[in-house]
Amino acid sequence: MSDHAAVDHAAVHRGRTAFVLTASDRADAGTREDTSGAGVAERLEALGFAVERQVVADDRATIETALRAAAERHALVVTTGGTGLTPRDVTPQATLAVLDYEVPGLAEAIRAEGRRSTPFAALSRAVAGVRGRSLIVNLPGSPKGALESIEAIVPVLDHALETLAGPFDHATGDAPADSIENQHAFGRDIPAESEEAR
């Protein structure tokens, strides 16, 4: 089941696109409204993303297929649902199967924010990472938790996507995540030896 909203062509032209994948047996069957996916999509649109949505069942192979396809088309891929402890909560497993590498700090930030509202956030198995040049982030399935989780990563989201967009030439210091200028801009202390090595 897909929900293709009106496309923000300016956002697409800028490469600022996102995909929201909801993993939910009930939403896929049409017995529950996908309020989590809708809320996350609305928030991302407010941040300037052109958003595409899809709802799938809690099936690992189906989720993996959807994530692979989404990462081919979108800079940001966000999932909602399936991050808990039940046998049907398979979103983290599916996500790990398609990632090139993890970005654990994002998942840590999401859990830390969630614990401000409920201790049960510590039970979330959500993961985040990179496939190609796309950032994939798992969010919880509850509408409130999903929105709180997006807000937890908003401060670093643009920087993460800019870093993934490249260039990746670490030898010349052009990689945004590694540049001295970038570290100053984000308030990091630069060790004296780093300045001497320049």
The per-residue pLDDT for 168 is: 72
Do 141 and 83 meet the contact criterion of CB atoms below 8 Å apart? yes
CA-nearest of 124, 143, 168 to 42 is 143
Question: What are the helix (H) ranges across 15-103?
Answer: 25-29, 35-46, 60-73, 91-98
Going residue by residue through the chain, which has 198 residues, state the pLDDT in tens, using 9 for 90 and above.
444 444 444 444 456 999 999 999 999 999 999 999 999 999 999 999 999 999 999 999 999 999 999 999 999 999 999 999 999 999 999 999 999 999 999 999 999 999 999 999 999 999 999 999 999 999 999 999 999 999 999 999 999 999 999 887 655 444 444 443 443 344 334 344 444 443
pLDDT at residue number 15? 67
| Rg from Cα positions in the chain | 17
Query: What's the token pair of residue 81?
Result: 């649902």
Q: Which residues pair with 61 in a beta bridge?
A: none
Angstrom distance (rounded) from CA 28 to CA 82: 13
**Chain position carrying tokens 């649902």:** 81
128-131 and 101-102 beta bridge pairing: antiparallel
